[in-house]
Chains A and B, each alone.
Chain A
Amino acid sequence: MEAAQRILDKFSTPDNVVSHEFKCGKVSGVLIVQPDLSDAATARAVVFALENTAQKLGSLEEFSRYALLEYDVTISDDVDDCVNKLLNGDMLLCIEDESRYAVINARKYTTRGITEPPTETVMRGPREGFIEDLKTNLSLLERRLKTPDLAIERMEIGRKSKTAIALCYLSSVADEKVIKNVKKRLEKIDIDGIVDSHYLVPYIEEKPLSLFNQTGLSEKPDIVTAKLLEGRVAIFVDGSPMVITVPFVVVEEFQSGEDYYQRSTYGTFVRLLRYLGLILALLLPGLYVALQNFHYTLIPVRFMVTLMTAIKGIPLSPLAETVFVLLLFEIIREASVRMPRAVGMAMSIVGALVLGETAVSAGLISSPAVMVIALSSIALFTVPSMIGAMSVLRILYTLIGGLCGLFGLILAVLFTLHYICSLNAYDAPYLAPFTPLVYSDFKDAIERSPFPTMKQRPRSIPNNNPTRQA
Chain B
Amino acid sequence: MEATQQQTNNSALGSENTKNAGTTNTRETKQASGKQLVAIIFILAMATKMFLLPIFLIQASGRDGYLILTVYGVFDLITLVPMIIAIRKCDVDFFELLSSVLGKVGAKIVVAIIGLFLFFKLNTAVAEILTFYGTNVLADFDTSMMIIVLLVFLTAAGTHTLRSLSRLNEILVPIIVVCLAVLVAIVVLTGFDLGNILPAVADGKGFTAALLKHPAWVGDFTPLVLFIGRTKTKKYTWCFAAGSGVIGTGIAVFFAIALSAAFGNVPMLIDSTTNISNILQFSVGNVYGRLDMFSSVVWSVSVFIEAALFFYATCRCVSFVIGKNAHFIISLCACVATYVVQVFAFTDPMILSLCVTSYACAIITPTMAVGIPVLALVCGAVYNKKNKGDAKAAGRQSA
A residues engaging B (CB < 8 A)?
A: 175, 177, 294-295, 297-303, 400, 404-408, 410-412, 414-415, 417-419, 421-422, 424, 427-429, 431-432, 434-438, 457, 459-466
Contacts and interface: CB of A to CB of B under 8 A. Distances in A.
Contacts of B290: 297-298
Contact of B138 (A294, A429, A438, A461): A294
Given A407-B138, A437-B170, A418 B26 contact: no
Contacts of B163: 421-422, 424
B165 A418 contact: yes
A428 B25 CA distance: 8
Categorize the interface residue count of chain B: 35 or more
Contact of B24 (A303, A419, A431, A464): A464
A294 B149 CA distance: 16
Given A298-B293, A301-B286, A419-B156, A435 B146 contact: no
A466 B286 CA distance: 53
Contact of B149 (A407, A434, A435, A462): A407
Contact of B171 (A405, A417, A460): A417
B168 A421 contact: yes
Nearest to A301: B286
B113 to A, nearest CB: 28
B289 A427 contact: no
Contact of A436 (B13, B160, B170, B294): B170
Given A411-B149, A411-B152, A427 B25 contact: yes
Interface in B128-183: 133, 137-139, 141, 146, 149-150, 152-153, 156-157, 160-161, 163-165, 167-168, 170-172
Contacts of B301: 410, 414
Contacts of A437: 33, 35, 170
Given A427-B27, A436-B35, A461-B25, A410 B168 contact: no
A410 B304 contact: yes
Contact of A421 (B16, B23, B164): B164
B232 to A, nearest CB: 10
Nearest to A457: B24
Interface of B: 12-13, 16, 20, 23-28, 33, 35-36, 133, 137-139, 141, 146, 149-150, 152-153, 156-157, 160-161, 163-165, 167-168, 170-172, 286-290, 293-294, 297-298, 300-301, 304-305, 308
A300 B287 contact: yes
Given A295-B137, A400-B149, A414-B301, A463 B33 contact: no
29 contacts: A177-B16, A294-B137, A295-B293, A297-B286, A298-B290, A299-B289, A300-B288, A400-B149, A406-B137, A410-B301, A411-B149, A411-B153, A414-B153, A418-B165, A419-B156, A421-B165, A422-B160, A424-B163, A432-B26, A436-B26, A436-B33, A436-B35, A436-B36, A437-B170, A460-B26, A463-B24, A463-B25, A466-B23, A466-B24
Contacts of A417: 168, 171-172
Given A301-B286, A406-B297, A417-B172, A429 B26 contact: yes
A464 B25 CA distance: 9
Given A414-B304, A429-B26, 20 more contacts: A294-B138, A295-B293, A300-B288, A300-B289, A404-B149, A406-B137, A407-B133, A410-B298, A410-B300, A410-B301, A411-B152, A414-B153, A414-B301, A418-B168, A421-B163, A428-B26, A429-B28, A435-B171, A459-B25, A464-B20
Contacts of B23: 466
Contacts of B137: 294-295, 405-407
Contacts of A408: 146, 149
Given A404-B146, A410-B304, A418 B27 contact: no
Contacts of B20: 464
Contact of A427 (B13, B287, B300, B304): B13
B154 to A, nearest CB: 9
A284 to B, nearest CB: 15
B206 to A, nearest CB: 35
Contacts of B153: 411, 414-415, 418
**Candidate in B24, B133, B138, B300 with the most chain A CB atoms within 10 angstroms:** B24
Contacts of B168: 414, 417-418, 421, 435
A103 B289 CA distance: 79
A411 B150 contact: yes
Contacts of A300: 286-289
Contacts of A405: 137-138
Contacts of A431: 167, 171
